[in-house]
Every structure is written in structure tokens, then in C-alpha cells.
Structure 1
Amino acid sequence: MGFAGFPNPLTFQFTWVQPYNLDIKVTPAAVVRPRTAEDISGVVKCAAASNVKVQAKSGGHSYGNYGLGGVDGAVVVDMVNFQHFSLENETWLATVGAGTRLSDVYKKLHDAGQRAIPHAVCPGVGIGGQATIGGLGPMSRMWGSSLDHVVEVEVVTADGKIQRANALHNSDLFWALKGAGAGFGIITEFVFRTHPEPGDVVQYEYTLAFGTQAEIAPYYLAWQNLIADPGLDRRFGSIFIMMPLGAIIVGDFYGTEDEFRATGIPNALPEGSRRHIVLNDWLGSLVNGAQMEGLFLTNTPAPFYAKSLAFKREDLPSADKVNALFQWVDAQNKATLLWFIIFDASGGAVGDVPANATSFAHRDKILYYQSYAVGLPLAQASKDFITNFHNQVLASCESAYGTYPGYVDPALADAQQQYWGANLPALQKLKTRWDPNDLFHNPQSVGRAEEIAV
């Protein structure tokens, strides 16, 4: 067994708990750092016997601190010691320990055989959360999500058993873990199918520096029209970021500069006050992307508040509603200079997978938005701005519903329905089978089917 930490007012929060969102206070019953699956099995059995909830922590980037249980009193299984990696050179299947951070995942895949999987670019995120929630990133339109590349896992279930799960063995559990893993077990390792690295990557950045968001609205509309095109080249990924005094459009094209220009996409992208294109290899593009995202979403813990929403193509707001929304932003008191509203293009290969093939439900979504306000301390006015912006979006896109479960929002009243949609009833029944006492629990994890008595 690895080390374990217990509540101590002097050191526990800083050395063991290490919360990500400092606006949400959580004190676990204990934090353990096991070294083997057998260690985890022992922890799970002990917690079950003591009627204490359990949650695994991989990178620890949950917006609601759900890797710490989300509320006081859980046992946290910190997977930091599960860093093992191997690549099979005939099948190109990669085995990755569940505590591995994304920066190490892509470096290890590169060094072992110039292979790759789709994932987000924030380097500190853990693969254990990424590949059980979804795993969307700039290459997802081309390759799909991280969880779509998982072919097998080793998992410790609520009875303390160490099991393998794949499409043929424990297939129902495997289905649930691929989208709602936090409620069904503690995965110790993943087996991924991999791709050859793209040979060339074009990274682009358009900076829009204006005095008001109202002046930005036409540029957003041009970008929205581009990413809503059903024929948009899947090698293209992009995000649009609103922020104080302007906006920025960034992203990647997985191919050569000539191929990028041949798509016509550069001509459709709105040109701003500064336009910048970088040619990169695969590893360089990931490092550069991490540096860029670090300007907006840092690995450093801070007090913050966030909201999000997912859009089908038919949910996208019309031009008049976009103009009104951006004008509304100008008039608000944000009470902080650290606010960002990020629109992230999706679709493509993610939508090729049927909605019921995994527990991840958002196969029909082509766009997500996330809004953030950060403050030291975080003012109520900043939270109100983010909440009211979200309400304005909902009023502008009345049919839009649901969001990516990686964008945790503790304020959602119907979180499970919004995260898992039509897959929720099946997940609830599987919860009753695999975790009848709700051992693996956070405030918004999948619960048991209400109609089944246990």
C-alpha cells in the first residue's frame, strides 16, 4: 500500500487533498495513494464495510472537486502512482495507467512509436477522468473521443474484485465506464487503440481586439457558420474565446498548409487585428496548444465558477440573437478581469458512433460553450454574470439542452439527465447491479434505478 493522509488542519489540504476549485470546500475522510490494484481492492472493501463513499482522483481537474468526493467525508483514491505504460508494436494497442497526465500520455505514445490518441490539450488533466467522461479535444472531429478508443480496462468494482472489462467480458460494465466511470468503479489501467501521428499540423490564431463585445458579434457569426457546415473538413478543430476587450479564434488543422488552404477554410475564417499561423509537427502542436490553452484554463488551483451547454446544429442561435447576446455582455458588471466564454467546435467523427454505443450521450452535438469567472476572492457579482449569461443563452436557444459531463456544474438541478440524456435509465439499472449501495458516489454521479428495491 502507498501512503495515506488523514485530516490535519496544518497540512492535509495542501499536501493531500489539493483541491482544484478553491471556491468549493471539501474535506475527505482520507486520501490514499495506492500502488497496486490489490491496494485499491483493500481500500474499497474497507470503505464499504465502514459505509463511506469512495471516489478516484486522476488529474484532479473536476470543476466541482468531484475527484475529492464533492462533499465532505469521502475516501479519495489518488491514482498518482499508476503511471505504467506499454505499446504493443504489432497491434499498436497502448496500455496506460489511470493516473497518467495527458502531457505524459502523448509524450510516451510519441517516444514508443509515434502513435497518438485523441484527447484534450490541457497537460495536467488525468487520463482516468478524460477517458471515462468523454475525452474531447481538437483532434476529436477527425478521430472521435478518447473513450471511443478504449478497448479494455482493468477495474476494481464495488465488491472489491479486480476485473477486466471489454466488449465481450463484463460488457455492460464496460459500456457504463465509457462515459460515466466515476459511479461504477476505479479503473487502474486502460488499453487504447492508437493512430499514427499526423505528419503535419497547421495551428492558427486570429486575435480580435475591439472595445466592445458587440463589435465581436459578426466575427463570431462567421465562425459559427463555418463550424456548422456539415461538410466541414474533419481535420479542422477550432475554438472561439470571448474575453475582456476582444476575442481570439484558435485551433488546428491536421495536414499541410497547402491542404489547409485547399479546403477554403482560411478564406472563411474572419480576419481580425492579428492573424498568425504556425506550422508544426504533432508533438510540437500539442506543446503549443497546451501553452495557448494555459492562457485561459490553468492547472493552478483557483476560486472559479463555470457554466456550459451543448448544441445540436438546429440549436445554434440566429444572427439577431447573437448580436443581442454580445450586446448584453457589454452591459454587465463582471466584477473580475478574469472571465472567459469559450465556444468549442465538435461533431465530425464523434457523431459517427451511435448514441447508445457507449454511455456518453452527446453524439449529435456540434458545439459546446463554457463560461468561467475567476476571482481572488470570487465575487458573487462574477457568479451572477456567469449564471445570467447562461440564462440568456438558454433563452436564445430554447431547444438546446444537456452538456458534456466533463464540464461539471454543481448548480444543475437535473445534472444526471443533462449529462447522460437518453442513456440515463440504462445507467441507473446498471448502477443497481454493479454498485447497489452507491459506494462510488459524488453529488452528480449516476444513482440507482428508483423503481428497483435493493
Structure 2
Amino acid sequence: MEWTSRRISTDFDSAGLHHADLPQLPAEGFSLRITLQNLMRPHVYPEETKSSSGVEHIVDGITCTIMHSYREDEVGGIASWMGCALRALCYTGPAAAFGPARRLLQQSLADCLRPAGARIVLPSSSDYQTARGHVFNHRFLWSPAAFVFATTTAHVSNAIQCAVRLNVGIAPRSGGHSYEDYSLGGRDGVIVVDLEGMNKVTLNKTSKLATVGGGARLGPIKLALWNQGKVSTPSGTCPSVGVGGHSLGGGWGFISRKWGIMADNIVEVEIVIANGTVITANSQKNSDLLFALKGAGANSFGIVTKFTFKTFDVSKKVTYFSYNFQKSQQAATTKAFGLWGLTVTNDVSASLYHDPSGGNTFWGVYLGPKTNLKSVLQKFFSNAPAASSTTELETDYIRTVVINAGFKETDPISILDLKNYTYETRTFKSKSIFVKGSGFSDAGIQAYVNKLQQGPAQSYMIFDLFGGTGSAINAISPSASAWVHRDSLYSIQMFTYWNDRPQDAQNAINWIENIWSTVRPFASGEAYQNYIDSKMPLSAYYGSNLDKLKSIKRKFDSRNIFNYAQSIPLS
């Protein structure tokens, strides 16, 4: 038997079609030859070839032929694998012979999904590319089997049941900002459940608890909480990021040292699990599941449709600050950031930005008046040179949200509702690492700066302060939730992006891998799961909690319905 096809994906690791959809296999020993060709993304830097169950993955941009022979007693196993291959082939650039199989599966999906009443988009739909939306990382061009635009838990439940029934993968999409594009499943041929229609934000004025739909985005959440009660819950700065992936993977922001990461402030979730049942997880009910969701919840245990968060009063004036320095002072600001971060009080959260061209900015938010700012930052400036430019602004908290989101200081706060807003997408690679103790040693700082300044122009580093005196993040035990990074001083996000030239991609990826390796001896080796990196082992994200997470996975998703390349495994 032989098939030839152009493909986009390189993944055979997911469940496939029903065995009934496969060609009839001979009873005797037989040979299977599949030729797959990827001509769609020649600019993408090839990952190394991997193996799965004896079947090679296809390297992007290279034509390969896979040849395997099987005995009669292996036919069942090859049927399962054939489903994986067939499904991938049928969705993206199939050979003519696979047209009927593709149409058959699309019809099966339509028949199963549409009765629930959600808007459904299939590959044959005229609005399919629109439904894919802005692919956050153009290194990946996954082609889902279907999009389900859910507005109720019933829609989500039905989508999960259809995925199980048709043996198709499933992935939720809250904001679509996964660095490895797991928001589209991380492979071809999955059902993507888009949650954007489940975005309501309601504040209980008495309890100060906020109920947030699983598809709400950070900008609208912060705006709604401000308008309803001048409160907030800690979260990141990018306004278009979805609450789902962000909070379930941690969620650091400029009030996190005072009140914790976003995951720490989850009180309760409504979640649809693998059998389609809608359940609640809180401290009293399904508390083990809540443990897992607070740090490892991104499509490993179910689809969260609603969150309840603690909120905090941010009605008083705060101070936004930003200081720019010279390229030659990058080592000095790195050292000053670490020394200052060790002892600064928890009413300050701050970051440090560097890039190879000389960018060197220290900025943050102080939950207090401008008159106190000098004393708060005194230790930083006792170890750093004078800034070349300075911004110090006493203002409302919500104004700092607007500024940190990248909008103009003078823009109305209503800009956070993201109407007519399109977020930037790129072709990029990112890595991260946590640094403990007092930060980089002098040797570590010098090694870091030397490698940084050799980097491509379209690259940057961001240090985010997690620890220090009274940090609410580090006050929590690593065993209290899945988010294990409780003894770090700061994290470093490493980011590089490029255009379409293959040599740019190769140079950028080589450099980011090299700078990570350069700083690794001076850091913990732990990494931040919201900056997911396919090269990192799960132990870097979950540490000593990984075995417990596997146990919870077996309890709530014993068939591994919710899976992607870096999901929590069964064992």
C-alpha cells in the first residue's frame, strides 16, 4: 500500500480515525509505504527528527519515505497508527485518494457537533481561515479538524464527547497565545473549542470574589473589575492573553509580589472533564483537581469554563516608574536588579529589559505615592549608574495597566476592552529559566551579557522579580499547588524572532539555545510553563509535583483525552 501527500504537520502522536475508516489490511505479512512531503513552510527551521513507536516524524521541508513491515499479529497496532497518519493526511493538502476519507470525517464531525447548537467551522467552510484567527507563533501552521465556538458548558461537553466518539484530539482556546501554538492542539486534526464567547466578568460586591468566563481576556477582565469595584486580581500585562492558559499556568503581574500569581488566587473552577460531565473544583470538592489546575491545568485535565478569583483593593494611587540605561551598563543593571530585589518590600513588582542592540530598561509599579519612590528604589540606584532617561508617574492603578499593555499613557482606559484590537504575531522561539538566591553571580552576569550582545537584533530578555522580602509568591509552599517555583528571585524570559529567511531562523534558534546553556550553570534549571518550550522536560515546569500530577491525571482523565506534546502524562 502506498500514499503520497503534502503535509503541514510533523505529528503522529495523537489518536486517529476509527478503524472502520481505514483501508482493509491483509491478513498476511504486508508492507506499508507512506511518502509525505512538506512544501508549505520552507522558511521554518527544522527540528530534529524524532521517533514514535518505530515511526519517524517528518522533518519540516524534507521529503521522507517511511517503510515498515508488520506481521499478522501486529495488524491491530498498525490500525491505530494508520488512523493517526490518515487523519493528518486528510486535513492538510491530501492526495486525491484521501478526498473521500476527509469528507467522511468532516461529515461525521458535523453530524456530531452541530446538534448542540454551537457555531461550527470545518476545513471546508469558507470562514475556516478566519476561524483559525491570528496564529500567535508562525513557526506552526496547524490545521484543526473543526472549530467549536462555545457559549455554554453544554457546547463544551458535546465537543468533548464528539472528540471521544470520533477518536479525534481536542484543545481549548481561550486567548490563543501558547508559545508552541498548543491553542490549536499542537498538531493537525484536533477539535478546537474556542471559549471567547464565554467571557463574562462579574464582581460580588460583598465577598469581592470575581466570576470570570473561561474565554475572557486579561485587558477586559482588569477593566471590568476596575469599573465594578476598583479591584483587581494579579495577572500579566498583555491585554489579549486569555485567562484560561494564563491563570492555569501561573500568571505573573505587577501586583504579584503583593498578592501572588493569578493561579494562587483561583478559589474555584467550573470544568468539563473527559466524560463530558461538568464539575466544580474548590478547596472542599475535588481539591486534588484544583491543586493540579493551579499551575498545570492547560489542557491536561479538562476544559475550564468558569473561574472564581480573589480580588484586591487597588483604589489608591500608585506609581509607575521606568528608567533607561546605556548598553555598556547592562551588567550593572543586572547586578543592581538582583541585589535590590532581595530586600525590597512586596508593594513593588518590577522587571528588567535587555536586548543585543543595547536596550536596558528597569520598570515597574509601586503600590504607593511618588513621594516614597526614591527610598523604595534607593538600593537599586546605589548599585546602578544614573539613568539616561526617567519616567515617574503617580496615577490610578488602571492607568498603569494601560501603560504596561503597550498603549499610550493618554489613551482612555476603555481601550482595554480590545474592541477593534489586533494583537501582534510573529515567527519566534522563546525559552525561560528561574534564578534563585541573590541572582546571577558576577561570573554569571558577565557570561550572560557577553552572550546577549552577540545575539540577533530581533531578540530580548525580560527579568521579572518573583522573590525578595515578603513576596507573596514565595510565601506559599511548593507542595501547595502545581506551581512549584517558590524559591526563585527572578525569572528570565528569552525571546527571539525572525523573518522568512531560513538562515535567520537557524541563527536565532542557535543563539537562544546557546544563551540558555550559558546561564544554566548560574540558574536553577526550572522554567516557566507559560513560556512553554518544546525542548524542556516536564520536570523543569513541575519539579517534585510531577508524580502527584500524573496520579491526578489518571483519576480525572484515565484515557488521556486531553493531551498535547507537553501535557501531563498518565505515567
SS of the equivalent of 1:352 reads coil
| Residue of structure 1 equivalent to 2:542 | 420
Q: TM-score, normalised by structure 2?
A: 0.73
Q: Distance in 2 between matches of 1:17 and 1:312?
A: 38
| Residue of structure 2 equivalent to 1:385 | 511
| Residue of structure 1 equivalent to 2:531 | 407
Q: Distance in 2 between matches of 1:306 and 1:204?
A: 26
Q: Kindly indicate whether residue 212 of structure 2 is the aligned counterpart of residue 96 of structure 1.
A: yes
- Structure 2: gaps (5+ residues): 1-116, 410-421
1:16 to partner: Cα distance: 2.6
Counterpart residue identity of residue 349, structure 2: G
Question: Which stretch shifts more, 159-168 or 298-307?
Answer: 298-307
Q: Which has the higher contact order (CA 8 A, sep 6+)?
A: 1
1:91 to partner: Cα distance: 0.9
Counterpart residue identity of residue 219, structure 1: T
RMSD, matched Cα: 2.0
Q: Is 1:209–1:246's contact at 8 Å kept on the other side of the alignment?
A: yes
Q: Distance in 2 between matches of 1:443 and 1:43?
A: 21
| Residue of structure 2 equivalent to 1:452 | none
Q: TM-score, normalised by structure 1?
A: 0.91
Q: Distance in 2 between matches of 1:410 and 1:14?
A: 27
| Residue of structure 1 equivalent to 2:320 | 203
Match of 2:337 among 223, 226, 237: 223
| Residue of structure 2 equivalent to 1:273 | 388
Correspondences of 1:228-307 after superposition (within 5 Å): 229=342, 231-243=343-355, 244-263=357-376, 264-265=378-379, 267-268=381-382, 270=384, 271-291=386-406, 299-307=423-431
Correspondences of 1:120-131 after superposition (within 5 Å): 120-131=236-247
Q: Is 2:338–2:440's contact at 8 Å kept on the other side of the alignment?
A: no
For the structure 1 residues 436 and 293, does the alpha-carbon distance in structure 2 shift closer, same or farther, using more than 3 Å as the test? farther
- Write the deviation string for residues 115-172 of structure 1: whole angstroms up to 9, x where unpaired: 1111111101111112111111111111101111111111100110011111101111
Q: Distance in 2 between matches of 1:322 and 1:410?
A: 26
- Write the deviation string for residues 316-370 of structure 1: whole angstroms up to 9, x where unpaired: 321133123312333x352xx3211111111210011111111111111221101
For the structure 1 residues 283 and 333, does the alpha-carbon distance in structure 2 shift closer, same or farther, using more than 3 Å as the test? closer
1:11 to partner: Cα distance: 5.0
SS of the equivalent of 1:238 reads strand
SS of the equivalent of 1:249 reads strand
Q: Distance in 1 between matches of 2:517 and 2:485?
A: 21
Percent of aligned pairs sharing the same letter: 30
Q: Is 1:205–1:275's contact at 8 Å kept on the other side of the alignment?
A: yes
| Residue of structure 2 equivalent to 1:324 | 447
1:30 to partner: Cα distance: 1.3
| Residue of structure 1 equivalent to 2:554 | 432
Q: Distance in 1 between matches of 2:315 and 2:270?
A: 29
1:258 to partner: Cα distance: 2.1
Q: Distance in 2 between matches of 1:51 and 1:275?
A: 57
Q: Is 1:122–1:293's contact at 8 Å kept on the other side of the alignment?
A: no
SS of the equivalent of 1:369 reads strand
Q: Distance in 1 between matches of 2:382 and 2:171?
A: 45
Q: Is 2:370–2:392's contact at 8 Å kept on the other side of the alignment?
A: no
1:261 to partner: Cα distance: 2.7
| Residue of structure 2 equivalent to 1:445 | 567
Match of 2:432 among 293, 300, 308: 308
1:260 to partner: Cα distance: 2.4
Q: Kindly indicate whether residue 480 of structure 2 is the aligned counterpart of residue 357 of structure 1.
A: yes
Q: Which has the larger radius of gyration?
A: 2
- Write the deviation string for residues 26-45 of structure 1: whole angstroms up to 9, x where unpaired: 11121111110011111111
Q: Is 2:153–2:278's contact at 8 Å kept on the other side of the alignment?
A: yes
Question: Which stretch shifts more, 2-11 or 185-194?
Answer: 2-11
Match of 2:287 among 168, 171, 176: 171
Counterpart residue identity of residue 547, structure 2: P
